[in-house]
Amino acid sequence: MLKYEDLIFKIPIENKSYMEDSKFVTRSIVLMLDERKEKGGNRILINTNLKRGLPLENINKIAGPIIEAWAYEVFSEINEDLNNKYFLINVEAQERLSMTDIVLQFKKENRYITGNIDVKATSEDILGSGKSPNITSFSRIRTAYIEDPDYMFIVLSIKHKVYSKRNEKTNMFDGVMEIIDYNAYDLKLIADEDISYNPALGTGQIQIKDIHYVSLVERTAWEFCQLLDEKYLKSSKRSLKQWYAEAVKYKWIKTKD
């Protein structure tokens, strides 16, 4: 009879500096956004020819790509300064179906640190908007830590509000999307009670229950893989047989074949 505890797992072992590196990356992200906000660069102007302005009740449907583009611009402009104080050396926007949106690379103390950034936009104006987002596919993120024990998946939560103001020259309404708050979390370090598993879509989606209220803990990549497995196997719509098929497919375990 198949038993989870009897399997021979591939156990990822991250670098001893991982916790320090994770704190460095999340702190740097917030400080870079702070710098932009302090300079007044936290407002995005959206000009349209709509006489009554933007449809604010549905603005969350287009906010995500706009906020993501804003964040990419912030990091890219800092990266242009080769001697920037954040030790940021490379910024890359990811393709549409990639697991994350932006990749940041830092050089600190003669080592390279890579943060994979998933941007999540939430609206202050719309109750519950983006509160419990899908983060990533169970099998995809589970595999990422096996392939790279130092894989760093950062959830960048950005809260915004949108309002319209009349342009005196055109007599039209200009839309303003204002960034009002943000935070960055290492997915691997988010507390058990703040992570949930949604069996819908493929192998299921890892979710954050409330992205505005997140607690962090210290854990290893292997501990996080075990937590992901537990979330999967506790779902009434999943079985150990299904998990085993994924484990063989993505080589999470050692087999005789």
Q: Is 221 among the domain residues?
A: yes
- Condensed to tens digits (0 to 9), the pLDDT of residues 130-188 reads 567 889 999 999 999 999 999 999 999 999 988 877 777 777 777 888 999 999 999 99
Establish if 89 belongs to a structural domain: yes
Q: Give me the percent of the chain exceeding a pLDDT of 70.
A: 93
Q: Is residue 4 part of a domain?
A: no
Number of structural domains found in the chain: 1
Distance of CA 32 to the CA centre of its chain: 16
- How far, in Å, CA of 47 to CA of 54, rounded? 9
**Above 70 in pLDDT, residue 126?**
no
Q: Are strands 111-123 and 153-166 parallel, antiparallel or unpaired?
A: parallel
Q: What is the pLDDT of residue 122?
A: 86
pLDDT in tens, 56-77: 666 677 788 999 999 999 999 9
Cα–Cα distances (Å) from 229 to 7, 44, 48, 133, 203, in that order, read 13, 41, 47, 20, 12
Establish if 130 belongs to a structural domain: yes
| Residue 42 falls inside a structural domain | yes
List helix spans (H) across the chain. Answer: 18-38, 60-79, 138-147, 221-234, 240-249
Give the structural domain span for 47: 17-249
**What's the confidence (pLDDT) of residue 45?**
84
Domain annotation covers residue 8: no
* Residue 137 in tokens: 């596919």
Dist CA 176 CA 47 (whole Å): 9
pLDDT higher than 60, residue 98: yes
Is the residue at 5 inside a domain?
no
Average pLDDT over all residues of the chain: 91
Structure tokens, 236: 């009434």
Q: CA 99 → CA 32, 139, 146, 177, distances in Å?
A: 23, 11, 15, 26
Let me know: does 159 contact 145? Beta carbons within 8 Å.
Answer: no
- What is the residue-wise DSSP string for 150-188? T--EEEEEEEEEEEEEE-TTT-SEEEEEEEEEEEEEEGG
- Report yes or no on 256 lying in a domain: no
Give the model's pLDDT for residue 112. 96
Of how many residues is the chain composed? 257
- The confidence score (pLDDT) of residue 227 equals 97
pLDDT at 202 over 90: no
